[in-house]
Chain A
Amino acid sequence: MKTRRTSLLAGLLALVATPVAWANDLQLNMTQGSTDMSQHVYGLHMLVFYICVVIGVLVFGTMFVSIFRHRKSRGVTPAKFHDNVKVEIAWTVIPFLILVAMAVPATITLFEMDDTDDSDLTVVVTGSQWRWHYSYLDHDVEFQSILATQNEQIYGRLPKTENYLSEVDRPLVIPTDTKVRFLITSEDVIHSWWVPEFAIKKDANPGYINEVWTRVNEPGIYRGVCAELCGQGHAFMPIVVIAKEPAEFQEWINAEEERLAAERAEEERLLSMNMSMDQLMETGRNIYLAQCAACHQPNGQGIPGVFPRLAGEGVSVGDRTQHIDIVVNGVSGTAMQSFQNSLSMSEIAAVITYERNAWGNDTGDAVQPADIHNFIQGNQ
């Protein structure tokens, strides 16, 4: 009996102690973030939180005293009072004053956020199902940013790594100590660009632009997510922002401009030659898994009624030009987007070749970058 009680006690203690053990490596509160604004937001959050805790303690405290003392089993006789004008006025006015006390700092912070002073860098952030596209307004640099976590991790065939679902192939890079302005919009449904450490969350509305700004104090890697339900890939379009010292940022963006220029030159070169079937299939497979598999599924089965099947039926085994048209231009009014601006011609050629030959489609068609070029130029 004695031992049972001890073990029960130990169990209870463990239960109470566990939250303490977690607290070290487990985040239970809002991040303080890495910008002045996010610190203000955190401060405001804690202020309001403490006020709420005090109110809660007072109200619930009174209740518990009452529950303990004013119970029939203690033989009390109930009082008869049922109103008291003074008290009622007091508890209308005092909460009002408390609210005013909260509203003042909230208003100040909101006006600080609404700062349209000139900025030094503008980044256009475009959401689409289910990726982010970044374009630096004053530089020849634009790219899309896609979830880098493998499907095998999501479906439990590989162990999950540290940054599971918070890693992307190409992070956004911004300079520190600089006012960076983000113009946020969408290509299809509403998304929401949220980086908690900047205290920025803004909806990406199709056809409209929204702006937010930040000034990051510390270099580092900051992770965010899409915060507005945007379909089945909603949880799979994370955001990664790398903040670099301004000089380093300058180096990066110059290198990036050069690299993208070189890519375009390479594109030109590829146009004049044929890629081998193996090369097309290899590149095509990678592009397909990164860009297409979320909807059409890795095995090309699609989702009946929502996303067309590509294996053994439909456009992949049908007319080649129509297939190119769909990938290049998208299908208006559906989730099928245009890949003309997000993929290079060689990549488009490769992924079409892959779709026409994978999963037993075996049409034997090899689509070359030049075919895509000709199609876009309207020569086909």
Chain B
Amino acid sequence: MSTVVADAHDAHDEHHDHKPTGIKRWIFTTNHKDIGTLYLWFSFIMFLLGGSFALMIRMELFQPGMQVIDPHFFNQMTTMHGVIMVFGAVMPAFTGLANWMVPLMIGAPDMALPRMNNWSFWILPVAFLIMLSSMFVPGGGPAFGWTFYAPLSTTYSADSTALFVFAMHIMGMSSIMGAINVIVTIMNMRAPGMTYMKMPLFVWTWFITAFLLIAVMPVLAGVVTMVLTDKFFGTSFFAAAGGGDPVLFQHLFWFFGHPEVYIMILPSFGIVSAIIPAFARKPLFGYASMVYATASIAGLSFLVWAHHMFTTGMPTVASLMFMYMTMLIAVPTGVKVFNWVSTMWRGAMTFETPMLFAIAFVILFTIGGLSGIMLAITPVDYQYHDTYFVVAHFHYVLVSGAVFSIMAAAYYWLPKWSGVMYDEGLAKLHFWCSLISVNILFFPMHFVGLAGMPRRYPDYALQFADINAIVSVGGFLFGFSQLIFLAVVLKCAMKKGEKAPAKPWEGAEGLEWTVPSPAPYHTFDTPPEVK
């Protein structure tokens, strides 16, 4: 993707007509396309790293008994896998897409705050270097899960928790800066005539996501600060001995954590809502209801946090309230799925790779959504909670949901980014390998969870052995399938492929297709007119 080269457009660019080359270009860049590219590469590297941690886990779980790693390291792997995938892979990938596409979609010359944009990217690798370095200090890295429940993360954790907290603070800052940038850009930089209700859904979903980020990332910052002071400075926010309550930690964490879940899926909705109409050659069904559904999902996300905590011992009335609210989220989510299906209905579809990933997204995300409804039912959740059923649920939503949508987006916009068409054969191979292996990986987890296998177990009873072996095989297949994606992207980055036209997809709509491919370094210096 590091392929955005200057072309004729730069010549009649008034303000900056030079572009630094080499490493300096990337370090000091304030160009939204460069920063988008940096974000996307960073997230892909983190995806491979987090994936390799997952493969460590799957290797250990291939058969019962401890063979490869010890339980303490296993817990570090589950923690790091979660943290890296959430904060290092999915969120930066979306921020990268927003950087690249939001200005192009609303007809803006760049993001509103380009220098801050540079900072918000470059502190991210720093945060992850700190996070990863914590694994090399005595006592090992964080081993309390990405949810870092107190007091396991306070009194009973290794000293590296300080590094964990520090890294989380930096990631939070990066996300908040990114969110501010997106909001200001969307509010102030739209081309004339681009009213809110004309914005592409990807812009809308990101707009709402950015507000969610502003609302909850500071709460996360507060929680990690409390963990830090509880561990090192003698406060007792979560220590029963000092009058605190460990369950309070979970309330605070999930007050952040549940909206966070939607932060990781709302932009996916936007991507899929762009791709399905393009390949069905038919306008998106129910644009306005999509916007309202997204907003109501975001609103409801603040009222459901305790559904992660049904077993902590809540009064029945509270459990009921959270159960009802959670079930209610199924309504706007259902509306979205029905809208996508209706968009496909009586269209004229073709099945290039972006469309394949988008269709897989709709199906697999819906499976994750349906298991979500099952999990919402409090009395049954007592049996599902903290088992592999939950692991299956959120991986369906996050891997075959969020990650698949990011893949779809990458294939959809790669011609625009690189100027060449990706290798459709390799891409289809990547799709089918991913689709099959992701299901071998995650579908059997439902069974092993229902049969009673808890999550975050480095070792398990013999009756779970067969399914775990299958899951591990699926894990390795899925992991290695992603190298095909790397190959496809590298081919595009090296300009090996057919030259892409400005609009490579027959049914695609939007301002991004009005600029040449690859998109020039500076676009929309004169705002386009939107009718």
Does a CB–CB distance below 8 Å link A and B in the complex? yes
Q: Is A153 a contact of B152 with CB atoms below 8 Å?
A: no
Q: Is A109 a contact of B75 with CB atoms below 8 Å?
A: no
Q: How far is the CA of A154 from the CA of B365 in the complex (A)?
A: 37
Shortest CB-to-CB span from A125 to chain B, Å, is 13
Q: How far is the CA of A194 from the CA of B383 in the complex (A)?
A: 8
Q: Is B152 a contact of A229 with CB atoms below 8 Å?
A: yes
Known: A67-B349, A233-B71. A165 touches B374 (CB 8 A): no
Q: Is B450 a contact of A30 with CB atoms below 8 Å?
A: yes
Shortest CB-to-CB span from B384 to chain A, Å, is 8
Q: Is A63 a contact of B463 with CB atoms below 8 Å?
A: no
Q: Which residues from 194 to 237 on chain A have a C-beta closer than 8 Å to any C-beta of chain B?
A: 194, 196, 199-203, 205-208, 210-211, 225-236
Find the B residue at minimum CB distance from A195: B452
Q: Is A200 a contact of B75 with CB atoms below 8 Å?
A: no
Is B516 located at the chain interface by the 8 A CB criterion?
Answer: no
The 8 Å CB contact of A201, one of B66, B241, B382, B462, is B382
Q: Is A72 a contact of B348 with CB atoms below 8 Å?
A: yes
Q: How far is the CA of A192 from the CA of B383 in the complex (A)?
A: 12
Is A29 located at the chain interface by the 8 A CB criterion?
Answer: yes
Q: How far is the CA of A52 from the CA of B382 in the complex (A)?
A: 19
Q: Is B327 a contact of A99 with CB atoms below 8 Å?
A: yes
A82 contacts which chain B residues (CB < 8 A)?
282-287
Known: A41-B383, A110-B320, A210-B313. A55 touches B370 (CB 8 A): yes
Q: Is A227 a contact of B454 with CB atoms below 8 Å?
A: yes
Interface size of A by CB at 8 A reads 97
Q: How far is the CA of A232 from the CA of B76 in the complex (A)?
A: 10
Shortest CB-to-CB span from A337 to chain B, Å, is 11
Shortest CB-to-CB span from B144 to chain A, Å, is 7
Q: Is A72 a contact of B286 with CB atoms below 8 Å?
A: no
Q: Is B72 a contact of A22 with CB atoms below 8 Å?
A: no
The 8 Å CB contact of B457, one of A26, A154, A234, A304, is A234
Shortest CB-to-CB span from A192 to chain B, Å, is 6
Size class of the contact patch on chain B: 35 or more
Q: How far is the CA of A79 from the CA of B349 in the complex (A)?
A: 11
Q: How far is the CA of A115 from the CA of B473 in the complex (A)?
A: 45
Contact digits for B303-334, partner A, Cβ 8 Å, 1 yes 0 no: 00000000111001001100110011011001
The 8 Å CB contact of A78, one of B137, B327, B347, is B347
Q: How far is the CA of A207 from the CA of B316 in the complex (A)?
A: 21
Find the B residue at minimum CB distance from A82: B283
B454 contacts which chain A residues (CB < 8 A)?
194, 225-227, 235
Q: Which residues from 104 to 127 on chain A have a C-beta closer than 8 Å to any C-beta of chain B?
A: 106-107, 109-111, 113-114
B74 contacts which chain A residues (CB < 8 A)?
232
Known: A27-B451, A40-B379, A72-B348. A63 touches B341 (CB 8 A): yes
The 8 Å CB contact of A103, one of B67, B311, B323, B447, is B323
Is B387 located at the chain interface by the 8 A CB criterion?
Answer: yes
Q: How far is the CA of A271 from the CA of B13 in the complex (A)?
A: 94
Q: Is A165 a contact of B461 with CB atoms below 8 Å?
A: yes
Find the A residue at minimum CB distance from B346: A79
A225 contacts which chain B residues (CB < 8 A)?
452, 454
Q: How far is the CA of A236 from the CA of B458 in the complex (A)?
A: 9
The 8 Å CB contact of B247, one of A87, A95, A165, A205, is A205
Contact digits for A129-147, partner B, Cβ 8 Å, 1 yes 0 no: 1000000000000000000
Q: A164-B462, A203-B312, A205-B245 are in contact. List 15 more A-B contacts (CB 8 A).
A: A26-B451, A40-B379, A49-B374, A60-B363, A66-B341, A95-B330, A110-B316, A196-B452, A203-B313, A207-B240, A208-B247, A227-B386, A235-B71, A305-B140, A334-B156
Q: Which 5 pairs from chain A and chain B are nearest by CB? A: A207-B240, A305-B139, A305-B138, A210-B313, A232-B71
Write the residues of chain A forming the contact surface with B, with a CB cutoff of 8 angstroms: 22, 26-31, 40-41, 44-45, 48-49, 52, 55-56, 59-60, 62-63, 66-67, 70-73, 76-83, 87-88, 91-92, 95-96, 99, 102-103, 106-107, 109-111, 113-114, 129, 153-156, 160, 162-166, 188-190, 192, 194, 196, 199-203, 205-208, 210-211, 225-236, 303-306, 333-335
